[in-house]
Amino acid sequence: MSDTTTEIGEFEENTGEPEHRTRSRIWQGVFWVALIGFLLIAPTLFYPVFVMQLLCFALFAAAFNLLIGFTGLLSFGHAAFFGGAAYIAGHALKVWGFPPLLGIAAGTLFAAALGWAVGSLAIRRQGIYFAMITLALAQIVYFFVLQMPFTGGEDGLQGIPRGHLLGFIDLNQPLAMYYTVAAIFLVGFLVIYRIIHSPFGQVLQAIRENEPRALSLGYNVDRFKLLAFVLSAALAGLAGSTKALVFQFASLTDAHWQMSGEVILMTLLGGMGTIFGPVVGAFVVVTLQHVLSGIGSWVQVVIGGTFIACVLLFRRGIVGELARLLKINSL
Amino acid sequence: MDPMIRLILAQGMLGLNNGVFYAMLSLGLAVIFGLLNVVNFAHGALYMLGAFLALILYSYAGAWVGLDALHIGFWPALILAPLMVAGFGMLIERFMLRRLYKLDPIYSLLLTFGVTLVLQGLFINFFNASGTPYPGMPESLRGVVNLGFMMFPKYRLFVIIFSIIVCFVVWYIIERTRIGSRLRAGTENPELVKAFGINVPLMVMLTFGFGTGLAGLAGVLAAPIYSVSPLMGANLIIVIFAVVVIGGMGSIAGAVVTGFSLGLVEGITKVFYAPAANTVIFLLMVIVLLVRPNGLFGRQS
Amino acid sequence: MSTTTLIKPMLKIENLHAWYGESHVLHGVNLELGEGQLITLLGRNGAGRSTTLRSIMGMVDRRTGSIAINGQEFITKPAHRISPDGRIGFCPEERGIFASLTVEENLLLPPMVGADGMSIEELFDMFPNLANVRKRMGTRLSGGEQQMLAIARILRTGARLLLLDEITEGLAPVIVKTLGRVIRDLKTRGYTIVLVEQNFRFAAPLADRHYVIEHGEVIDTIEAADVEASMDRLNHYLSV
């Protein structure tokens, strides 16, 4: 049933032509410059807290894209890693008194381990079942978060201290906090970029294009999928832990299935299988939520409608369409 | 009777009562998946829609047409609401899903997820998010019956029996009638069925309507038991996904049997360790994935 | 086109092109046959013979040109109208027996397309083996039984134009012989038949005319009377 699989994050694979490649490089360079420029000046233009929220979600979406866009796996349970890590990081910072970076590392590590457990179960089935299994497993995590004594139940985990970075930089200073988050985002994003362009990433894309062929070429497809899943979960955890530190708060919504849906939307809207798409998608969705926060639960209707419109009319996403207009293969 | 056994039987009955909804919803999902290769995320939302339609027909529809005294009751709703849900489902199929059949099936999952959010958001705006009780339970089904080991609500007993009949009729139609044989043939090789002169696009639309109508029917049945709330389908659909991962979507009978059994298991779990009751189905899913990755009734892929 | 058909054509295909996705499979096929005639489509695997039949049935992604049946244009019809409007019965490659249907359900699956289809009894007379396995699941039949079922299935519907794709493939000689008798019988009953065949010895005595297809085009047409004289050419076309 999965042999009809087509065009997840579809791109014409004619990377052969050198002019194409140069054009791709140039435009990628433009995006990198724009991104770094934005990171540097953003706090002068917007509320730092808002930008930090953007960056956490952008990293989350980019991590998610590693799976859907570059491996062809739809996880419907990524909120478990994002939210789960937020709770663990929050607990480590608040109760165990971890310094900020160590707390974030704890959350990230937890997400990686959880990703390994969820991933090794989910890869036993393919295609659409994979999505259903990840969703169901994430629901177990949600129930745990709801019921464990340390999570604060419905109220969430509150009062997480920001602490001092490396012992001397006070993260209660907004700009210190901001540049820390920007650095974490950039490191996470670079890691993802490196993964995509490594030989490992090439194999992942081969699996996405045609799993049976990758299998017949002798690749241990399951191991590649699992590793991709763990990496994606860990990076989602990094984003979740950072968010907990920024907002000093880990909440149930971070672990809820609706969050898993939102990260899918960000990636889809920005462009599955593109490099910068998830970042753009996250920016658009988060901004939209801010702008629309006055209309209450109509936001959900708007989000749902955007989903429908994207799937029906706009499957390449913003950056994917842009890449098509610019006639380049990867952006 | 040993009180322990009595307790198990009682919780088993209540579990079976939840199993009704697992069975009917996973049955509809399986029927749709068989022919369309679509996993309908909106199935839970359409169940919610069915329940709301029953509520609206009883409490609001009369006033909307200027007849304040008119309450369209449970029995008419049992027919009308599923038909309306089926009609809504067919519109979704005709104007949205149909454009996605040539693509990876995850796109139709995402589309129906979007539909879920829209439906949920709309009902949250217009109705109380924490639920509204359905006042239209028929007089004849009020009260309790003595089952020997417990006093059981008459209505719930009706729901169990009624849904077993519905599931059996659906199974019979699909496995034993001419129309069902067309459906099965369409599941295997729609192109050839079309070449034989059967209007497959129409059959697909009707099948989607039928599957979603079943969800609507389950919603009407649920309305008098649980309070009617915009989120009633959201958590259910995730349990249903676990049910179909356990049972596999390849078999109609498998979906029904798995649904009822898991309801039972969930109920009995309450006796022994109550906090695990809402995760036991997910844990069973994990075990099934470890032992029989293709599901209990799944075909070897 | 050197055909000397005196009967008006029942099926006339002109300049038929067909595509699967992006790949262009047929490049302008022309052929025709009159009522009651039997033609074969010969050629190597992948030449486009099956695709010609599938194009007639609307089972390709895109097709252009003209397919006229009794003078009526069929190229624009939706796939599910082709069989009933043209009274066509299609027997696909690898038989197309449905695994989840019993023999009887398989037999009853295609809707009637004409009033004078064969009755179940007649069909069981023609294919006695099938009578004993009515309730068995479709795929639990031997290859020969499956093939007979596939033919019986379209005879029941009242189709008058039969498109038969590789019906002898992989079957034992004795069954091939039976099928030969069946086809001859159908021809005397006035059915019009297009036969895609690999087995020329099976097809030769049945056909009025042979079309040789290569690279999605008809490259040669050989009337039954000229077969003897054209053996060298034919051997050349069909040698692998």
Q: Give domain limits for chain A.
A: 45-256
B301 and A131 within 8 Å at the Cβ level: the answer is no
Residue C48 domain flag: yes
Query: Strand, helix or coil at C68?
Result: strand
The verdict on residue C3 lying in a domain is: no
Distance CA C92, CA C89 (A): 10
Contact B195 C111 (CB under 8 A): no
Sequence-distant (6+) residues with CB within 8 A of A33 are: none
Chain-chain contact of B197 with C81 (C-beta, under 8 angstroms): yes
Check pLDDT > 80 for residue B1: no
Provide the chain B residues 154-183 that lie in CB contact (below 8 A) with chain C. 178, 181-182
Question: Measuring CA to CA, which residue among B25, B126, B166, B135 is closest to residue B71?
Answer: B135
Q: Please give the structure tokens belonging to residue C134.
A: 């009515």
Whether chain A has a CB inside 8 Å of the CB on B111: the answer is yes
Nearest to A143 among B115, B241, B279 (CB): B279
> Which of B171, B175, B196, B202 to mutate: most C Cβ within 10 Å?
B196
- Confidence band, pLDDT 50/70/90 cuts, at residue C7: low
Residues of C in contact with B187 (CB under 8 A): 100
Cβ of B285 within 8 Å of Cβ of A311? The answer is no
* Mean pLDDT for the stretch of residues B263-274: 92
Determine whether the interchain pair B39/A128 forms a contact, defined as Cβ–Cβ distance below 8 Å: yes
A3-17, A163-177, B114-128 — which is least confidently predicted? A3-17
Min Cα–Cα distance to chain C from B32, Å = 17
Percentage of chain C modeled with pLDDT above 90: 70
Residue pLDDT, tens place only, A302-313: 999 999 999 999
C220: buried, middle or exposed (CB in 10 Å: 19+, 13-18, 0-12)?
middle
What SS3 class is residue C149?
Answer: helix
* Partner residue facing C111 (CB), from B187, B192, B196: B196
pLDDT digits (tens, 9 = 90+) for A87-106: 999 999 988 988 888 999 99
CB neighbours (10 Å) of residue C126? 18
The three-state DSSP-derived secondary structure of chain A is: CHHHCCCCCCCCCCCCCHHHHHHHHHHHHHHHHHHHHHHHHHHHHCCHHHHHHHHHHHHHHHHHHHHHCCCCCCCCCCHHHHHHHHHHHHHHHHCCCCCHHHHHHHHHHHHHHHHHHHHHHHCCCCHHHHHHHHHHHHHHHHHHHHHCHHHCHHHCEECCCCCEECCCEECCCHHHHHHHHHHHHHHHHHHHHHHHHCHHHHHHHHHHHCHHHHHHCCCCHHHHHHHHHHHHHHHHHHHHHHHHHHHCEECHHHHCHHHHHHHHHHHHHHCCCCCCHHHHHHHHHHHHHHHHHHHCCHHHHHHHHHHHHHHHHCCCHHHHHHHHHCCCCCC
**For position A11, what pLDDT does the model report?**
43
Inter-chain residue contact B113 with A137, CB threshold 8 Å: no
Rg (CA), chain A: 19
Is pLDDT of A1 > 60?
no
Quote the domain boundaries for residue C99. Answer: 9-238
Show which of residues 142-181 on chain B sit within 8 Å of chain A, judged by CB atoms. Answer: none
Interchain CB distance below 8 Å, B242 and A299:
no
**Amino acid (1-letter code) at residue A185:** F
pLDDT tens-digit series, residues C163-214: 999 999 989 999 999 999 999 999 999 999 999 998 888 989 999 999 999 9
Instruction: Check B197 against C92: CB less than 8 A apart.
Output: no
- Contact between chains at B125 and A301 (C-beta distance less than 8 A): yes
Contact yes or no for C65/C13 (Cβ under 8 A): yes
- Residue C233 parent element (H or E): helix C231-238
Nearest in space to A68 (alpha carbons), one of A279, A225, A273, A240: A273
* C90, containing H or E segment: strand C88-91
For residues C48 and C27, give the distance between their C-alpha atoms in angstroms, rounded to a whole number.
9
Q: Would you tell me which residues 123-142 of chain B have a C-beta closer than 8 angstroms to some C-beta of chain A?
A: 124-125, 129
Neighbouring subunits of B (3+ Cβ pairs under 8 A)? A, C
Q: Which residues in C lie closer than 8 A to residue B101 (C-beta atoms)?
A: none
What residues contact C153, with CB distance under 8 A and at least 6 apart?
C89, C91, C106, C107, C109, C110
Provide the pLDDT for residue A171.
75
In a domain, B120, yes or no: yes
User: How far are the Cα atoms of A307, B97, B108, B185 from residue A311, in angstroms, in the given order?
Assistant: 6, 10, 8, 29
Q: What is the Cα–Cα distance from B155 to B43, expressed in whole angstroms? A: 24
**CA proximity to B40, closest of B207, B225, B158:** B207
Alpha-carbon gap, residue B102 to B99, rounded angstroms: 8
pLDDT at C45: 86
Chain C nearest C-alpha distance from B163 (Å): 26
- Note whether B232 and B216 are within 8 A (CB): no
- Distance between C103 CA and the closest CA of chain B, angstroms: 11
Q: Do B238 and A257 touch (CB under 8 A)?
A: yes
Q: Choosing among C62, C93, C109, which should be mutated to test the B contact, i.e. which has the most B CBs within 10 A?
A: C109
What is the residue-wise DSSP string for chain B?
--HHHHHHHHHHHHHHHHHHHHHHHHHHHHHHHHHH----TTHHHHHHHHHHHHHHHHHTHHHHTT-TT----HHHHHHHHHHHHHHHHHHHHHHTGGGGTTS-THHHHHHHHHHHHHHHHHHHHHS-TT-B------GGG-SEEE-SSSEEEHHHHHHHHHHHHHHHHHHHHHHHSHHHHHHHHHHH-HHHHHHTT--HHHHHHHHHHHHHHHHHHHHHHHTTTS-B-TTHHHHHHHHHHHHHHHH-SS-HHHHHHHHHHHHHHHHHHHHH-GGGTTTHHHHHHHHHHHH-TT-TTPPP-
Q: Do the chains contact at B197 and C100, CB–CB below 8 Å? A: no
Residue C231 has a pLDDT of: 87
The one-letter code for the residue type at A292 is: L
Task: Give the separation between CA A162 and CA A249, rounded to whole angstroms.
Answer: 10
Q: Does the distance separating the beta carbons of A1 and B111 come in below 8 Å?
A: no
Q: What amino acid is encoded at C68 in this protein?
A: A
* Closest C-alpha to B96, from A23, C198, A307: A307
Which residues in chain B have their CB less than 8 angstroms from residue A77's CB?
none
ipTM entry: 0.91
Do A and C make contact, counting contact as 3+ CB pairs within 8 angstroms?
A: no
CB spacing of B191 vs C59 below 8 angstroms: yes
pLDDT at B132 over 80: yes
Radius of gyration (C-alpha) of chain C in whole angstroms: 17
Which of the 8 DSSP states describes residue C139? G
Nearest chain B residue to A256 by CA: give it: B235
Contact A304 B102 (CB under 8 A): no
* Torsion angles phi and psi, residue A129, rounded to 5: -65, -35
Decide if C76 is inside a domain.
yes
User: Residues of C at the B interface (Cβ-Cβ below 8 Å)?
Assistant: 57-59, 79-84, 90, 92, 96, 98-101, 105, 108-111, 113, 157
Chains with 3+ CB–CB pairs under 8 A to C are: B
Question: Would you say A271 and A320 are in contact if contact means Cβ atoms under 8 Å apart?
Answer: yes
Sign of the C-alpha dihedral, residues B46, A79, A91, A112?
Answer: positive
Residues C104-122 have a mean pLDDT of: 91
Chain C residues near residue B191 by CB distance under 8 angstroms:
59, 79
* Number of domain units in chain C: 1
Spatial CB neighbours of B283, under 8 Å, sequence gap ≥ 6: A140, B276
**pLDDT exceeds 70 at position C15:** yes
Q: Which residues in chain C touch residue B182, judged by CB atoms under 8 angstroms apart?
A: 109
C-beta atoms of B111 and A307 within 8 A: yes
Rounded distance between C-alpha atoms, residue B106 and residue B37, angstroms: 10
Q: Is residue B226 part of a domain?
A: yes
Residue-wise pLDDT tens digits, C76-86: 999 999 999 99
CB within 8 Å: B37 and A1 = yes
Residue B98 lies in a domain: yes
Cβ atoms of C17 and C28 within 8 Å: the answer is: yes
- pLDDT of amino acid C240: 54
Label residue A17 by pLDDT band (50, 70, 90): low
User: How many Å lie between the alpha carbon of B285 and the closest alpha carbon of chain C?
Assistant: 27
Helix (H) or strand (E) holding C25: strand C23-34
Cα nearest neighbour of A142 on chain B: B279
Distance from CA of B118 to the nearest CA of A (A): 4
- Set of chain C residues whose Cβ sits within 8 Å of the Cβ of B193: 109
Percentage of residues in chain B with pLDDT exceeding 70?
A: 99
Q: Using CA coordinates, name the residue in chain B closest to A130.
A: B245
Chains near A (3 or more Cβ pairs under 8 Å): B
* pLDDT of B208 higher than 50: yes
Cβ contact C100–B185 (<8 Å) = yes
pLDDT(A16) > 70: no
* Beta-bridge partners for C20: C23
Are the beta carbons of A207 and A71 closer than 8 angstroms?
yes
Residue A281 or residue A325, greater confidence: A281
CB pair distance less than 8 Å for A74 and B103: no
pLDDT score of A153 more than 80 = no
The residues, ordered by sequence, that sit 6+ positions from C82 with a Cβ below 8 Å of its Cβ are B195, B197, C56, C57, C58, C74, C88
Average pLDDT, integer, range B124-150: 90
Query: Is C96 in Cβ contact with B184 (below 8 Å)?
Result: no
pLDDT for A6 = 40
Out of A272-276, A318-322, B28-32, B83-87, give the one with best mean pLDDT. B83-87
Question: Chains B/C: 3 or more C-beta pairs closer than 8 A?
Answer: yes
User: Cβ–Cβ of B39/A307 closer than 8 Å?
Assistant: no
Res A13 pLDDT > 50: no
Strand pairing category for A164-165 and A169-170: antiparallel
Counting the structural domains of chain B, the total is 1
Interface of B with A in 242-261 (CB under 8 A): 242, 244-245
The residues, any chain, with a CB within 8 Å of residue A326's CB and separated by 6 or more, are A23, A27
Question: Does the distance separating the beta carbons of B181 and C99 come in below 8 Å?
Answer: no
Task: For residue B227, give its domain range.
Answer: 23-231
- pLDDT score for A42: 82
Gap between the Cα atoms of A182 and A194, Å rounded: 18
Q: pTM value?
A: 0.91
